[in-house]
Structure 1
Amino acid sequence: MVTTSESKAALNLPREAIRTPMYIDGKHYATAEHEFFTRRSPGHGVPVTATARGSRKDLDLAVSAARRAFDDGRWSRISGEERATVLLEAARLIRANCETLAWFETLESGKPIAQSRGEINAAAGIWEYAAGLARVVHGDTHDTLGPDVLGLVMRQPVGVVGIVTPWNFPFFILSERLPFALAAGCTVVVKPAELTSTTTLKLAALLTEAGLPDGVVNVVTGLGSVVGQALAEHMDVDMISFTGSTPVGRAVMTAAGANMKKVGLELGGKNPQIVFADADLDDAADAIAFGISFNAGQCCVSGSRLIVHRSVEGELVERVCALLEKVRVGEPLDASNHVGAIVEARQFEKIRGFIEAGKRDGVQLVRGGRASSEGERFFIEPTVFRGVDPRSTLAQEEIFGPVLAVSTFDSFDEAIALANGVPYGLAASIWTRDLQRAMKSMREVQAGRVWINCTITGGPELPIGGFKQSGIGRETGRHGVDEYTELKSAHVQLGNRTRWIG
């Protein structure tokens, strides 16, 4: 086990921004004409990485490489066993390079290094799981169509997939999508968020080292308004998978209509923590503190709404605030800190705006609210508002920061109505010792993921995705491979066909 002092000594800031070009057709790609975007670490205020600002021309090159790789069958038509072997080797290389990947992840995103390490290792586990699925993609047979006909249902890879990933979990969210697309036999063009592109580029090179054929995975960096838009519109891309905000998700759906490509979306959330009077309040308080602090609240499944029975509201809020006082916010490369930096100035100001609006509206601020941007280092301490009107901005809009909005209920029906009373339906946590109440809540809450007496946990075995304006489709689990396939039906005539004109 590396001690905190050893970790801090080993994890120094780079002397200058580390430049990484795009990755197209199995090799690094950049020209003298490319402008490079320099990323300043939000936790340190200094330049740390530089990535190319790609163009539509670069995107066309990547899509062409992916199309050739799909059409010639170098990946799409090999056996599941061969694909699984590459995915397993990729998982091994991810684990072997965990420290480097976690270092880049922390420098660019501002999240604590301990969290980055955990995410990289967990992502390797997803690649291992997806490797197993590569060998079990299958269809159905229908032997009930009469003695002369056999019906077959086949799953085939959808083709060239565009994957657009966000800045909050750049490596982990990509790993919830890319290995499943590869397990299905697809080829891929990835457009990572401009703020956090480096670990995606490093992964692409590791995949080549793992034995992935050239052109199967390509990475084009740059602005979403340029590269992301072109990817969504591209006539030679068969599917687009987008993770990000609901407004941008709507734009992706519109752009994808150009060639009616398949669309997978994981979008925003305003997720409830529903606490009934009989819950274990100590356990719930710890999970609520974690849920709002994890990744500085910049998490689509963050439990940002606490919906608690009126009889225990005061006691629970007191316990949550007491735990938050122990949360250490600061230097991301210090493994002893719980919460790192806000990703950039715009997000920092957006979160501050919500906090100031809550104060102006007279909502009771019971903990936190302080923020610092000194030296272009962006930190906000976990913040708790009590007595929040369920119809207010604090309760309805996704803040994407460490801000908890507390509302109360008196009856079961009121709790469910409050939980479902937002446009989103991504995740929910339910806290009760009553099994019947837990099961009834699980059934009635509108969310793609439900946790009972826990929060933000699980593995790749179960699917993820949203209800309502939180998205379309499902990732991970066996459904994660299905997402990147098309179904084809075939009728096979075994005997003599009855002719139309005898």
Structure 2
Amino acid sequence: MAVQTKNYSMYINGEWSGSELDTMDVVNPSNGEVIGTVPYGGENEAEQAVDAAYEAFQSWSELTAYDRAGYLEKLNQLMLDNQEEMAEIMTLEMGKPINESRGEVKYAASFLKWFAEEGKRIYGETIPTHAAGKRLQVWKKPVGVVTAITPWNFPAAMLTRKMGPALASGCTFIMKPSSDSPLTAVKLMELVEEAGFPKGVVNLLTGSSSKIAKVSMENKKVRKVTFTGSTEVGKTLIRQSADQVKKLSLELGGHAPLVVLDDADIDQAVEGTVASKFRNSGQTCICANRVYVQEGIYDEFVEKLTAAVKELKVGDGMDESNQIGPLINQDGLDKVKRHVDDAVSKGAQVEVGGETVTEYEGLFYQPTVIKDVNQSMVVMQEETFGPVTPVEKITSDEEAVKVANDTPFGLAAYVFTENVSRGTQLIEKLDFGIVGWNNGAPSAAQVPFGGMKESGIGREGGHEGIEEFVESQYVSIGMK
């Protein structure tokens, strides 16, 4: 089923709204066609959503964890039942190859299933007393109203990874998706309505990110903001949160190193590099952005990687045979071109790719491998967010650690080695929240996702993910 060009709506307090507002176009980056519009909401709509979520909080938080789990389990099943439609919407609005979009819908639904169960395991404590006549306990309470601001590159999973634990713990929820890919969120909200969530428990805002975020940061009824996006915006939110000491979860920028040591299985390392680097056309925060290969296997690795990348097919994501879709917008494409041009001007050699794709109207760039790069090149200092793999030669494990950690970011890293002792010691020295060891695809609902240094605060997923949405309340009980 293809999405028809039409006007979509926001969802506030159980009602579809925003028809009276100005609209924003949603554009298919594969061909530049407008596939729909959404309301351009601002401060007034954000205040309405906050009030609705605040009013719904008391009754929602008083439900049992099993009752809340029932809603999440129903939404999980509805997502799976509507997998194909959601995947097509996703591909049309942000270009992701359709098979990847189908995978994302399943991945997104898995967070609802996981946190439906985790909500039943928010345990308090009874602590041995230090004095007769007292009982010491720790209770867990939901934070309150939560606003989630999410990016365009995973328009379903970034929402459910936040929404699942928030709702399971008893919080109410306001979602603000990226203006580049809001239609997946609209479809998700349709399923929320179908699942029967009470009014005000889940709300959807589209429009001005700055104005909606301003309300969330300044309105005292919002007790937590969870954000996935750039480190620059994350730092702004930290500063804005200070006035109210508002609780934050931040999943920010990355610049992931991928290290291949000389005892690695080269074929496995190539496969892992392709899986990590070229997923979503290189537009993920945990993509391998810089590859470091030990000198003894460098030439063989580059040769095999180049051969594998040559097999990748570029084109419209709705064609199931394509593996590389478009960049999200012109700025993204320009950044990729700038990184490659800078590397070549400083002596790097393009083994495959290195050019925009001219046979299509959309924002496509050829899957690219560059060898003989060095640390002076922009591609090794900035996150590219595109289908470009720069490969640098290293001489030792010590050098691998040094260059890998030489970044303000610490989200994800990858290491390929067959030696358990060697791999363990190297990984222990890496300052990254996620490490794929002989594995280019580490994400899952049941594991913690988040970074060190300037890559964020807090964790999403796993049993840690729900702790971000609860407060510990210590209760000292005097007994007669």
- Shorter-chain TM-score: what band? over 0.9
Partner of 2:304: 319
**1:360 CA drift (Å):** 2.2
| Counterpart for residue 242 of structure 2 | 257
| DSSP 3-state at the match of 2:278 | helix
The residue that corresponds to 1:36 in the other structure is 23
- Does the 8 A contact of 2:19 with 2:39 survive in 1? no
Of the candidates 35, 43, 46, which is equivalent to residue 48 of structure 1?
35
Distance in structure 1 (CA, Å) of the matches to 2:172 and 2:185: 16
Query: CA separation of 1:158/1:391 partners in 2, compared to 1, >3 Å: closer, same or farther?
Result: farther
What residue is the counterpart of 2:146 in the other structure? 161
Structure 1 contact 180–484 (Cα < 8 Å) conserved: yes
Task: Determine whether 1:85 maps to 2:70.
Answer: yes
RMSD value over aligned CA atoms? 1.4
C-alpha deviation, 1:290, in angstroms: 2.1
Report 1:288-367 matches (<5 A): 288-367=273-352
Deviation at 1:225, TM superposition (A): 2.3
Residue identity matched to 2:34:
P
The 2-side partners of 1:152 and 1:97 are apart by 44
* 1:452 and 2:441 are equivalent in the alignment: no
Q: Would you say how many aligned residue pairs link Structure 1 and Structure 2?
A: 480
Deviation, structure 1 residue 442: 2.1
Q: Deviations over 1:243-289 (max 9, x none)?
A: 00111111111122231100110011110111110000001111112
What amino acid does structure 1 have at the position aligned with 2:15?
A: K
Residues 108-140 of structure 1 deviation map (CA, whole Å, 9 limit, x = unaligned): 110111110111012112211111011111111
Could you tell me how far apart the structure 2 residues matched to 1:413 and 1:314 are? 21
Are the counterparts in 2 of residues 273 and 430 from structure 1 also a CA contact under 8 Å?
Answer: yes
Which 10-residue stretch deviates more, 457-466 or 56-65? 457-466
1:372 partner SS: coil
> Per-residue CA shift, 1:447-474, capped at 9, x if unaligned?
1111111112342111110001100101
- What residue number does 2:199 align with? 214
Given residue 32 of structure 2, which amino acid in structure 1 is its aligned partner? G
1:360-388 CA distances to partner (integer Å, 9 max, x unpaired)? Answer: 22222222111136775110111122122
What letter matches 2:9 in structure 1?
Answer: P
Any residues of structure 2 matched to 1:411-490 within 5 Å, and which? 411-490=396-475
Whether contact under 8 Å (2:277, 2:289) holds in the other structure is: yes
Q: Which amino acid aligns with 1:61?
A: Q
Aligned residue in 2 for 1:60: 47
SS in 2 for 1:200: helix
Aligned to 1:274: 259
- Give distance in 1, aligned partners of 2:443 and 2:286: 12
Whether the aligned pair in 2 keeps the contact of 1:162 and 1:232 (CA below 8 Å) is no
Q: 1:210-259, CA deviations, whole angstroms, 9 ceiling, x for partnerless residues?
A: 12111011111012222233323333210110100111111111122231
Q: CA deviation at 1:391?
A: 4.2
Contact 1:301 1:456 in 2 (8 A): no
CA contact (8 A) 1:165 1:193 kept: yes
Letter in 2 for 1:266: E
Distance 1:13 1:44 in 2: 15
Structure-2 separation of matches of 1:467 and 1:211: 38
CA distance in 2 between partners of 1:381 and 1:403 (Å) = 8
- Within 5 Å, give how 1:375-414 maps onto structure 2: 376-414=361-399
Pairwise CA distance, 1:407:
1.5
- 2:14 alignment counterpart: 26
Identity of aligned residues (%): 34
Runs (5+) with no aligned partner, structure 1? 1-10, 496-502
User: Runs of 4 or more off by more than 6 Å in structure 1?
Assistant: none
Instruction: Report deviation, 1:96.
Output: 0.8
Q: Partners of 1:53 and 1:374 in 2: how far apart?
A: 34
Question: Do the aligned residues in 1 keep the contact of 2:2 with 2:88 (CA within 8 Å)?
Answer: no
| Inter-partner Cα distance in structure 1 for 2:217 and 2:183 | 22
Letter paired with 2:184: T
In structure 2, C-alpha distance between the alignment counterparts of 1:256 and 1:372, rounded to whole Å: 43
Amino acid at match of 1:35: D
Task: Describe the shift of the 1:437–1:94 C-alpha distance in structure 2 as closer, same or farther (beyond 3 A).
Answer: same
Distance across 2 between alignment mates of 1:430 and 1:233: 42
State the match for 1:199 in structure 2: 184
- Helix, strand or coil for the counterpart of 1:161? strand
Aligned to 2:96: 111
How many angstroms does 1:204 deviate by? 1.8
Report the Cα distance in structure 1 between the residues aligned to 2:239 and 2:220, rounded to whole angstroms. Answer: 13
**What is the TM-score when the length of structure 1 is the normalising length?**
0.93
Q: Which runs of 5+ in 2 are unaligned?
A: none
Cα gap change, 1:374/1:18 in structure 2, threshold over 3 Å: closer, same or farther? farther
Stretch deviating more after TM superposition (354-363 or 461-470): 354-363
1:231 and 2:219 correspond: no
Shift of the alpha carbon at 1:154? 1.2
TM superposition shift of 1:408: 2.0
Once the 2 structures are TM-superposed, how far is the Cα of residue 394 of structure 1 from its aligned partner? Answer: 1.2
Mean Cα displacement is larger for which, 358-367 or 331-340? Answer: 358-367
Letter in 2 for 1:288: T
SS of the residue corresponding to residue 195 of structure 1 reads coil
Partners of 1:144 and 1:327 in 2: CA distance: 64
